[in-house]
């Protein structure tokens, strides 16, 4: 059970990391398009 929970938290962290990367990419693109 703890092992499964660790896998779930790892997947959630990976998902959050991908989301964060997309937000960073979008903000960088916005920066280049605005200036």
How far apart CA 32 and CA 29 sit, in angstroms, is: 5
DSSP 8-state secondary structure symbol assigned to residue 4: H
Average pLDDT over residues 17-23: 90
Is the pTM value of this prediction over 0.85?
A: no
Q: What is the pLDDT of residues 1-13, one digit of tens each?
A: 556 667 677 778 8
Average pLDDT over residues 25-34: 84
| Confidence at residue 23, expressed as pLDDT on a 0 to 100 scale | 92
How far apart CA 21 and CA 11 sit, in angstroms, is: 15
HSE, side-chain direction, 13 A CA sphere, residue 2: 0
What value does the mean pLDDT of the chain take?
A: 80
């Amino acid at each position: 059970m703890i092992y499964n929970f660790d896998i779930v938290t790892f997947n959630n962290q990976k998902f959050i990391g991908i989301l964060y990367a997309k937000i960073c990419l979008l903000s960088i693109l916005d920066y280049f398009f605005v200036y």
